[in-house]
Amino acid sequence: MDTFTCLPAGRLRVTPPPTIAIDGPGASGKNTVGLLLAQRLGYRLVDTGAMYRALTWLALATGLDFDDPEALTGFAEATPLRVLPSSAQHPQGGLYADGEDLTPKLHLPEVDAKVSELSRVPGVRRVLVAQQRRLAAEGGVVMVGRDIGAVVLPDAALKVYLDASPQERARRRHQQLRADGADVAYQAVLEDLRHRDTLDQEREASPLRPAPDARIINTERLTPQQVVDAILQHATAS
């Protein structure tokens, strides 16, 4: 079956790769673009950052020591996450554990502050990467994160790395926070993004960097729709 024949544009006539890996730093547009792309292809979006965030929330609620990698690993092993596809209630996908909807908790400031500490633990990554591979094995998946092309799905036929300057990413994140009613200064958002870039890039386990075979797209002056078009062009060319 030719999956692209149902596209409104009607100009893509090849079967897209079953999994598409999108990586990039915070606020590079991964989730916005990933959702648009998934909708366009009839694929499922899997936001792997949400999985690290959900475990962070639960570890905070349990009072775990974030300096204890063994405790965090054991906790990840003992805590099954349910990762649900996009829905009207949760457009980016839902995250549940033990029947509790954790989706509204994922972007709380306390989660923002701790998620890099949890995601640097190799044992935690091992548990989540295994689950991410199981989700991808179902096919028809756009998977978004930091290490998808390099580690989770090294054989993905299409890997994209989205980037933009820290200033542009902070501008976008600031705008989004303000729209959500948060009273936060641009400078604070910029500093927080830079701090997390450093933690993500300098950690030992799966540091943030493009896979060698990733297509790097600078999203600085592109709308999300233009980025999706650029990715689809790569899909047809690959």
Residue 187 or residue 201: which is nearer to ligand DC going by CB? 201
103 is an interface residue for ligand DC by CB under 6 A:
no
User: Which of 19, 32, 48, 103 contacts ligand DC by CB under 6 A?
Assistant: 48
For residue 32, give the nearest of 233, 234, 226 by alpha carbon: 226
Instruction: Please tell me the total number of residues recorded for the chain in this structure.
Output: 238
**What is the H or E stretch that residue 112 is in?**
helix 109-119
Choice between 92 and 230, CB closer to ligand DC = 92
Instruction: Report, in Å, the least distance between residue 91 CB and ligand DC.
Output: 15
Helix ranges, 63-182 (H): 69-78, 109-119, 122-137, 166-179
Q: Which is nearer to ligand DC, 103 or 119 (CB)?
A: 119
Q: Is 168 helix (H, G, I), strand (E, B) or coil?
A: helix
Q: State in angstroms the smallest separation of the CB of 50 from ligand DC.
A: 6
Sheet of 81-84: strand order equals 81-84, 94-97, 100-101
Residue 200 near ligand DC by CB under 6 A: yes
| Size of residue set near ligand DC by CB under 6 A | 13
With left for phi above 0 and alpha for psi between -120 and 50, is residue 225 left, alpha or beta?
A: alpha
Question: Judged by CB under 6 A, does residue 141 bind ligand DC?
Answer: no
Tell me how far apart the alpha carbons of residues 112 and 56 are, in angstroms, rounded to a whole number. Answer: 9
Rounded to a whole number of angstroms, the minimum distance from the CB of residue 120 to ligand DC is 8
Give yes or no for residue 92 binding ligand DC (CB under 6 A).
Answer: no
CB closer to ligand DC, 32 vs 119: 119
Considering the complex, what minimum distance in angstroms separates the CB of residue 26 from ligand DC?
A: 5
Rounded Cα gap, residues 224 and 235, in angstroms = 17
**DSSP label of 86:** P
Q: What are the structure tokens assigned to 148, written together?
A: 């998808």
Integer Cα distance of 45 and 25 in angstroms? 18
Q: Is 172 in the site for ligand DC (CB under 6 A)?
A: no
Give which of 152, 159, 119, 150 is closest to 137, Cα–Cα: 152
Q: Which of 16, 34, 145, 149 binds ligand DC (CB under 6 A)?
A: 145
Nearer to ligand DC, 196 or 215 (CB): 196
Work out how close the CB of 49 gets to ligand DC at its nearest, in angstroms, rounded to a whole number. 2
- Contact residues toward ligand DC (CB under 6 A) are 26, 48-49, 52-53, 115-116, 119, 145-147, 196, 200
